[in-house]
Amino acid sequence: MLATPWEQRKSAYDFIIIGSGYGGAITAAHLATADLHPKPSICILERGREWQPGDYPETIPGVLGATRSSVNPLGLYELLNYNDISVIKGSGLGGTSLINANVAILPDREVFEQLSWPGAITYDALLPYYQHASQVLAANPHPRALQLAKVQALERRAKELGTSVQALNIVVNFTIDGQNPYGVAQKPCIDCGNCVSGCNVGAKNTLYMNFLPLARNAGDVVTFSALALISSGPLDSGAPSDPALTHGGINPQRMDRTRLVGSSSGSSWRRTTVVMVVVGATL
Ligand SMILES: Cc1cc2nc3c(=O)[nH]c(=O)nc-3n(C[C@H](O)[C@H](O)[C@H](O)COP(=O)(O)OP(=O)(O)OC[C@H]3O[C@@H](n4cnc5c(N)ncnc54)[C@H](O)[C@@H]3O)c2cc1C
Protein backbone atom coordinates (compact mmCIF):
# COMPACT_ATOMS: atom_id res chain seq x y z
CA MET A 1 0.00 0.00 0.00
CA LEU A 2 1.29 3.44 -0.88
CA ALA A 3 -1.39 5.57 0.72
CA THR A 4 -1.14 6.50 4.39
CA PRO A 5 -4.20 5.96 6.60
CA TRP A 6 -6.00 9.25 7.19
CA GLU A 7 -5.73 8.69 10.95
CA GLN A 8 -1.93 9.01 10.69
CA ARG A 9 -2.01 12.55 9.30
CA LYS A 10 -0.07 15.38 10.87
CA SER A 11 -1.82 18.64 11.61
CA ALA A 12 0.38 20.64 9.22
CA TYR A 13 2.63 20.16 6.20
CA ASP A 14 5.11 22.41 4.41
CA PHE A 15 3.60 21.46 1.07
CA ILE A 16 0.17 20.10 0.27
CA ILE A 17 -0.16 18.76 -3.26
CA ILE A 18 -3.64 18.22 -4.60
CA GLY A 19 -3.92 15.39 -7.07
CA SER A 20 -1.47 12.55 -7.74
CA GLY A 21 -1.27 12.57 -11.54
CA TYR A 22 1.86 13.59 -13.46
CA GLY A 23 1.62 17.18 -12.22
CA GLY A 24 1.27 16.24 -8.55
CA ALA A 25 3.47 13.13 -8.41
CA ILE A 26 6.42 14.67 -10.25
CA THR A 27 6.18 17.85 -8.17
CA ALA A 28 6.26 15.72 -5.01
CA ALA A 29 9.28 13.78 -6.26
CA HIS A 30 11.17 16.97 -7.14
CA LEU A 31 10.42 18.50 -3.73
CA ALA A 32 11.34 15.31 -1.88
CA THR A 33 14.65 14.88 -3.71
CA ALA A 34 15.60 18.59 -3.74
CA ASP A 35 18.65 19.68 -1.77
CA LEU A 36 16.58 21.34 0.97
CA HIS A 37 17.49 21.49 4.65
CA PRO A 38 15.48 20.61 6.58
CA LYS A 39 13.58 18.31 4.24
CA PRO A 40 10.09 19.70 3.72
CA SER A 41 7.11 17.67 4.83
CA ILE A 42 4.86 16.93 1.88
CA CYS A 43 1.33 15.66 1.75
CA ILE A 44 -0.41 14.49 -1.42
CA LEU A 45 -4.19 14.57 -1.34
CA GLU A 46 -5.80 12.35 -3.93
CA ARG A 47 -9.55 12.13 -4.31
CA GLY A 48 -9.46 8.66 -5.85
CA ARG A 49 -8.63 5.38 -4.18
CA GLU A 50 -5.56 3.21 -4.46
CA TRP A 51 -5.69 0.76 -7.40
CA GLN A 52 -3.23 -2.11 -7.46
CA PRO A 53 -2.58 -4.65 -10.24
CA GLY A 54 -5.45 -7.14 -10.00
CA ASP A 55 -7.99 -4.50 -8.95
CA TYR A 56 -8.87 -3.20 -12.42
CA PRO A 57 -12.10 -4.32 -14.11
CA GLU A 58 -11.79 -6.38 -17.29
CA THR A 59 -15.44 -6.58 -18.34
CA ILE A 60 -17.85 -3.94 -19.65
CA PRO A 61 -20.11 -4.22 -16.54
CA GLY A 62 -16.97 -3.99 -14.40
CA VAL A 63 -15.85 -0.82 -16.18
CA LEU A 64 -19.32 0.69 -15.86
CA GLY A 65 -19.31 -0.17 -12.16
CA ALA A 66 -15.97 1.61 -11.75
CA THR A 67 -17.10 4.79 -13.48
CA ARG A 68 -16.88 7.87 -11.31
CA SER A 69 -20.11 9.69 -10.50
CA SER A 70 -21.79 11.43 -7.59
CA VAL A 71 -23.03 8.05 -6.36
CA ASN A 72 -19.65 6.41 -6.97
CA PRO A 73 -17.09 9.11 -5.99
CA LEU A 74 -14.26 6.59 -5.79
CA GLY A 75 -14.79 5.36 -9.35
CA LEU A 76 -11.69 5.19 -11.56
CA TYR A 77 -13.00 6.36 -14.93
CA GLU A 78 -14.50 9.82 -15.14
CA LEU A 79 -16.34 10.90 -18.27
CA LEU A 80 -17.29 14.57 -18.42
CA ASN A 81 -19.56 15.80 -21.18
CA TYR A 82 -19.82 19.45 -22.09
CA ASN A 83 -21.52 21.15 -25.03
CA ASP A 84 -18.44 21.19 -27.21
CA ILE A 85 -16.09 18.67 -25.66
CA SER A 86 -16.07 15.38 -23.77
CA VAL A 87 -13.23 14.51 -21.41
CA ILE A 88 -12.07 11.18 -19.99
CA LYS A 89 -9.97 11.33 -16.84
CA GLY A 90 -8.60 8.87 -14.33
CA SER A 91 -9.37 9.27 -10.63
CA GLY A 92 -7.11 7.27 -8.36
CA LEU A 93 -3.67 7.26 -6.81
CA GLY A 94 -1.54 7.91 -9.90
CA GLY A 95 -4.18 9.98 -11.72
CA THR A 96 -4.83 9.38 -15.40
CA SER A 97 -1.53 7.48 -15.67
CA LEU A 98 -3.58 4.51 -14.38
CA ILE A 99 -5.71 4.44 -17.53
CA ASN A 100 -3.78 6.17 -20.28
CA ALA A 101 -2.26 4.60 -23.37
CA ASN A 102 1.37 4.69 -22.16
CA VAL A 103 2.79 6.60 -25.11
CA ALA A 104 5.61 8.89 -23.99
CA ILE A 105 7.05 10.95 -26.79
CA LEU A 106 8.70 14.35 -26.80
CA PRO A 107 6.81 17.18 -28.49
CA ASP A 108 8.39 18.45 -31.71
CA ARG A 109 10.62 21.51 -31.39
CA GLU A 110 8.30 23.30 -33.84
CA VAL A 111 5.50 23.27 -31.27
CA PHE A 112 7.56 25.66 -29.14
CA GLU A 113 8.27 27.89 -32.12
CA GLN A 114 4.64 28.65 -32.92
CA LEU A 115 3.74 32.30 -32.53
CA SER A 116 1.00 31.47 -30.03
CA TRP A 117 3.42 29.59 -27.75
CA PRO A 118 4.67 31.55 -24.69
CA GLY A 119 8.25 32.52 -25.55
CA ALA A 120 9.58 31.97 -22.03
CA ILE A 121 8.92 28.21 -22.22
CA THR A 122 11.45 26.83 -24.66
CA TYR A 123 12.14 23.35 -25.95
CA ASP A 124 15.75 23.54 -24.76
CA ALA A 125 14.71 24.61 -21.24
CA LEU A 126 12.27 21.72 -20.93
CA LEU A 127 14.40 19.06 -22.61
CA PRO A 128 16.30 17.96 -19.45
CA TYR A 129 12.96 17.55 -17.63
CA TYR A 130 11.45 15.50 -20.46
CA GLN A 131 14.57 13.34 -20.42
CA HIS A 132 14.39 12.90 -16.64
CA ALA A 133 10.69 11.98 -16.80
CA SER A 134 11.36 9.51 -19.65
CA GLN A 135 14.11 7.89 -17.62
CA VAL A 136 12.04 7.51 -14.42
CA LEU A 137 8.99 6.32 -16.37
CA ALA A 138 11.31 3.95 -18.29
CA ALA A 139 10.04 4.94 -21.72
CA ASN A 140 11.07 2.50 -24.44
CA PRO A 141 9.59 1.06 -27.61
CA HIS A 142 7.90 -2.34 -27.43
CA PRO A 143 10.80 -4.77 -28.01
CA ARG A 144 8.64 -7.00 -30.25
CA ALA A 145 6.59 -4.27 -31.85
CA LEU A 146 7.00 -5.58 -35.39
CA GLN A 147 5.62 -8.99 -34.36
CA LEU A 148 2.31 -7.46 -33.20
CA ALA A 149 -0.55 -7.97 -35.65
CA LYS A 150 -1.74 -4.37 -35.30
CA VAL A 151 1.72 -3.01 -36.08
CA GLN A 152 2.03 -5.35 -39.06
CA ALA A 153 -1.32 -4.06 -40.33
CA LEU A 154 -0.13 -0.49 -39.90
CA GLU A 155 3.12 -1.36 -41.65
CA ARG A 156 1.23 -2.77 -44.66
CA ARG A 157 -0.89 0.38 -44.92
CA ALA A 158 2.15 2.59 -44.46
CA LYS A 159 3.92 0.79 -47.31
CA GLU A 160 0.93 1.41 -49.58
CA LEU A 161 1.31 5.08 -48.74
CA GLY A 162 5.04 4.95 -49.46
CA THR A 163 6.15 5.34 -45.89
CA SER A 164 6.93 3.14 -42.89
CA VAL A 165 5.87 2.79 -39.27
CA GLN A 166 7.99 3.48 -36.26
CA ALA A 167 7.46 2.03 -32.78
CA LEU A 168 7.07 4.90 -30.32
CA ASN A 169 8.32 4.98 -26.74
CA ILE A 170 5.82 3.56 -24.29
CA VAL A 171 6.05 3.43 -20.50
CA VAL A 172 5.63 -0.31 -20.14
CA ASN A 173 7.92 -2.80 -18.42
CA PHE A 174 9.14 -5.68 -20.60
CA THR A 175 12.12 -6.81 -18.57
CA ILE A 176 11.72 -6.55 -14.78
CA ASP A 177 10.19 -9.53 -12.98
CA GLY A 178 10.53 -8.50 -9.35
CA GLN A 179 11.24 -5.20 -7.63
CA ASN A 180 11.78 -2.16 -9.83
CA PRO A 181 14.29 0.60 -8.89
CA TYR A 182 11.62 2.22 -6.66
CA GLY A 183 10.93 -0.94 -4.66
CA VAL A 184 7.62 -1.84 -6.34
CA ALA A 185 7.00 -5.37 -7.65
CA GLN A 186 6.44 -5.48 -11.40
CA LYS A 187 5.92 -8.14 -14.05
CA PRO A 188 6.80 -8.02 -17.74
CA CYS A 189 4.06 -7.09 -20.20
CA ILE A 190 2.06 -10.01 -21.65
CA ASP A 191 0.58 -8.03 -24.58
CA CYS A 192 -2.98 -8.41 -23.25
CA GLY A 193 -3.88 -4.91 -24.46
CA ASN A 194 -5.72 -3.86 -21.30
CA CYS A 195 -3.56 -0.77 -20.72
CA VAL A 196 -6.44 1.69 -20.92
CA SER A 197 -8.80 -0.10 -18.54
CA GLY A 198 -5.90 -0.54 -16.11
CA CYS A 199 -3.00 -2.98 -16.04
CA ASN A 200 -3.66 -6.06 -13.91
CA VAL A 201 -0.28 -7.54 -14.81
CA GLY A 202 1.80 -4.87 -13.08
CA ALA A 203 3.68 -4.09 -16.29
CA LYS A 204 2.41 -0.59 -16.89
CA ASN A 205 4.76 2.06 -15.56
CA THR A 206 2.05 4.19 -13.98
CA LEU A 207 3.04 6.84 -11.46
CA TYR A 208 2.14 4.31 -8.79
CA MET A 209 5.22 2.35 -9.93
CA ASN A 210 7.78 5.16 -10.06
CA PHE A 211 7.36 8.86 -9.21
CA LEU A 212 5.03 8.30 -6.24
CA PRO A 213 7.23 5.69 -4.49
CA LEU A 214 10.31 7.70 -5.51
CA ALA A 215 8.89 10.69 -3.66
CA ARG A 216 7.90 8.62 -0.65
CA ASN A 217 11.30 6.88 -0.47
CA ALA A 218 13.22 10.14 -0.77
CA GLY A 219 11.70 12.30 1.88
CA ASP A 220 8.98 13.11 4.35
CA VAL A 221 6.09 12.43 2.00
CA VAL A 222 2.69 11.02 2.84
CA THR A 223 0.03 10.22 0.30
CA PHE A 224 -3.57 10.24 1.37
CA SER A 225 -5.84 8.54 -1.09
CA ALA A 226 -9.62 8.90 -1.30
CA LEU A 227 -9.38 12.49 -0.08
CA ALA A 228 -10.48 15.46 -2.10
CA LEU A 229 -9.94 19.14 -1.62
CA ILE A 230 -13.38 20.52 -2.27
CA SER A 231 -12.97 24.22 -1.61
CA SER A 232 -10.17 26.70 -1.22
CA GLY A 233 -11.38 30.21 -0.53
CA PRO A 234 -8.44 32.57 -0.99
CA LEU A 235 -6.86 34.60 1.80
CA ASP A 236 -5.86 38.23 1.22
CA SER A 237 -2.39 36.92 0.42
CA GLY A 238 -3.85 34.84 -2.37
CA ALA A 239 -3.20 31.59 -0.48
CA PRO A 240 -6.19 29.29 -0.12
CA SER A 241 -7.68 29.12 3.35
CA ASP A 242 -9.15 26.25 5.33
CA PRO A 243 -9.29 23.68 2.59
CA ALA A 244 -12.28 21.47 3.15
CA LEU A 245 -11.61 17.79 2.63
CA THR A 246 -13.89 14.93 1.90
CA HIS A 247 -12.67 11.56 2.98
CA GLY A 248 -13.80 8.67 0.83
CA GLY A 249 -16.18 11.14 -0.73
CA ILE A 250 -18.46 10.70 2.25
CA ASN A 251 -17.30 12.39 5.47
CA PRO A 252 -16.27 16.02 5.10
CA GLN A 253 -13.21 16.79 7.24
CA ARG A 254 -10.90 19.73 7.59
CA MET A 255 -7.14 19.80 7.62
CA ASP A 256 -5.44 22.39 9.82
CA ARG A 257 -3.14 24.17 7.45
CA THR A 258 -1.59 26.47 10.03
CA ARG A 259 1.47 25.74 12.10
CA LEU A 260 3.43 27.39 14.88
CA VAL A 261 6.64 29.13 13.87
CA GLY A 262 9.11 30.40 16.45
CA SER A 263 11.33 33.47 16.23
CA SER A 264 15.08 32.84 16.23
CA SER A 265 15.14 33.49 19.99
CA GLY A 266 12.29 31.13 20.51
CA SER A 267 10.57 33.71 22.66
CA SER A 268 7.59 34.44 20.48
CA TRP A 269 5.40 32.16 18.49
CA ARG A 270 2.93 32.91 15.81
CA ARG A 271 0.67 30.90 13.62
CA THR A 272 1.53 30.76 9.97
CA THR A 273 0.12 29.04 6.97
CA VAL A 274 1.67 26.01 5.29
CA VAL A 275 4.32 27.12 2.83
CA MET A 276 2.49 26.21 -0.30
CA VAL A 277 -0.47 24.39 -1.71
CA VAL A 278 0.42 22.97 -5.09
CA VAL A 279 -2.48 22.17 -7.35
CA GLY A 280 -2.00 19.14 -9.59
CA ALA A 281 -5.68 18.93 -10.30
CA THR A 282 -8.36 21.09 -11.81
CA LEU A 283 -10.42 22.24 -8.83
C1 LIG B 1 -7.67 7.14 -22.27
C2 LIG B 1 -6.49 8.09 -22.20
C3 LIG B 1 -5.32 7.78 -22.88
C4 LIG B 1 -4.23 8.65 -22.80
N5 LIG B 1 -3.08 8.30 -23.45
C6 LIG B 1 -1.99 9.08 -23.34
C7 LIG B 1 -0.76 8.70 -23.94
O8 LIG B 1 -0.64 7.62 -24.53
N9 LIG B 1 0.29 9.53 -23.83
C10 LIG B 1 0.19 10.74 -23.15
O11 LIG B 1 1.19 11.46 -23.07
N12 LIG B 1 -0.96 11.12 -22.58
C13 LIG B 1 -2.04 10.32 -22.63
N14 LIG B 1 -3.20 10.69 -22.03
C15 LIG B 1 -3.24 11.96 -21.32
C16 LIG B 1 -2.47 11.95 -19.99
O17 LIG B 1 -2.75 10.80 -19.24
C18 LIG B 1 -2.84 13.23 -19.22
O19 LIG B 1 -2.46 14.34 -20.01
C20 LIG B 1 -2.15 13.31 -17.89
O21 LIG B 1 -2.49 12.23 -17.07
C22 LIG B 1 -2.50 14.64 -17.19
O23 LIG B 1 -1.78 14.70 -15.98
P24 LIG B 1 -2.29 15.65 -14.82
O25 LIG B 1 -1.37 15.48 -13.65
O26 LIG B 1 -2.47 17.01 -15.37
O27 LIG B 1 -3.76 15.14 -14.46
P28 LIG B 1 -4.25 13.71 -14.00
O29 LIG B 1 -3.28 12.63 -14.37
O30 LIG B 1 -5.64 13.57 -14.48
O31 LIG B 1 -4.23 13.81 -12.41
C32 LIG B 1 -5.11 14.64 -11.70
C33 LIG B 1 -5.36 13.97 -10.36
O34 LIG B 1 -5.99 14.91 -9.48
C35 LIG B 1 -7.03 14.24 -8.77
N36 LIG B 1 -7.98 15.25 -8.35
C37 LIG B 1 -8.80 16.00 -9.11
N38 LIG B 1 -9.50 16.87 -8.36
C39 LIG B 1 -9.11 16.66 -7.06
C40 LIG B 1 -9.49 17.23 -5.82
N41 LIG B 1 -10.40 18.20 -5.76
N42 LIG B 1 -8.90 16.78 -4.68
C43 LIG B 1 -7.96 15.79 -4.74
N44 LIG B 1 -7.58 15.20 -5.91
C45 LIG B 1 -8.15 15.62 -7.06
C46 LIG B 1 -7.59 13.26 -9.78
O47 LIG B 1 -8.29 12.20 -9.16
C48 LIG B 1 -6.31 12.77 -10.46
O49 LIG B 1 -5.74 11.67 -9.79
C50 LIG B 1 -4.32 9.85 -22.06
C51 LIG B 1 -5.50 10.17 -21.38
C52 LIG B 1 -6.57 9.28 -21.44
C53 LIG B 1 -7.84 9.62 -20.68
Q: What is the spatial distance between Cα 232 and Cα 283, in angstroms, rounded to a whole number?
A: 9
220 or 213: which carries more pLDDT confidence? 213
Query: Does ligand 1 lie within 6 Å of residue 99's CB atom?
Result: yes
Q: Quick check: CB of 89 below 6 Å from ligand 1?
A: yes
The CB of 204 under 6 Å from ligand 1? The reply is no
Which atom, in ligand 1's list, is nearest to the CA of 283? 41
The alpha carbon of 92 and the centre of ligand 1 are apart by a number of angstroms equal to: 10
pLDDT of residue 277: 56
Query: ω into residue 38 within 30 of 0, thus cis?
Result: yes
The rounded distance, in Å, linking the Cα atoms of 150 and 61 is 26
Please give the residue that has the higher pLDDT: either 198 or 245: 198
State which H helix or E strand residue 65 sits in.
Answer: helix 60-65
Q: Which residues contact 33 (CB under 8 A, 6 or more apart)?
A: 214, 215, 218, 219
Per-residue pLDDT averaged across 125-136, rounded?
Answer: 96
Question: What's the rounded Cα separation, in Å, for the pair 43 and 47?
Answer: 13
Q: What is the pLDDT of residues 239-269, one digit of tens each?
A: 555 556 666 655 555 555 544 343 334 334 3
CA dist., res. 242 & res. 257, Å (int): 7
Q: How far apart are the first and last CA of the chain?
A: 26
Length of the chain: 283
Mean pLDDT estimate for the chain: 86
CATH of 6-101+205-279, one of 3.40.50.2000, 3.20.20.60, 3.20.20.70, 3.50.50.60: 3.50.50.60
CA dihedral of residues 264, 270, 273, 274 (deg, nearest 10): 40
Q: Where do the domains of the chain lie? A: 6-101+205-279
Q: Over 80: is that where the pLDDT of 55 sits?
A: yes
pLDDT, residue 99, reads 98
Question: What does the pLDDT look like over 154-176, one tens digit per residue?
Answer: 999 999 999 999 999 999 999 99
What b/e sequence results for 50-78 when a residue is b if at least 16 CB atoms lie within 10 Å of its CB, and e otherwise?
A: bbebeebbeeeeebeebebeeeebbbbbb
**247 C-alpha to ligand 1 centroid (Å):** 20
Q: Tell the residue nearest (CA) to atom 9 of ligand 1.
A: 103
Distance separating alpha carbons of residues 203 and 26, to the nearest angstrom: 20
Is the pLDDT at 80 greater than 50, yes or no? yes
pLDDT by residue (tens digit) across 15-35?
A: 888 899 999 999 999 999 999
pLDDT at 1: 85
Residue 282 in this model has a pLDDT that exceeds 70? no
**Cα radius of gyration rounded to whole Å, the chain:** 21
User: Rounded mean pLDDT of 1-28?
Assistant: 89
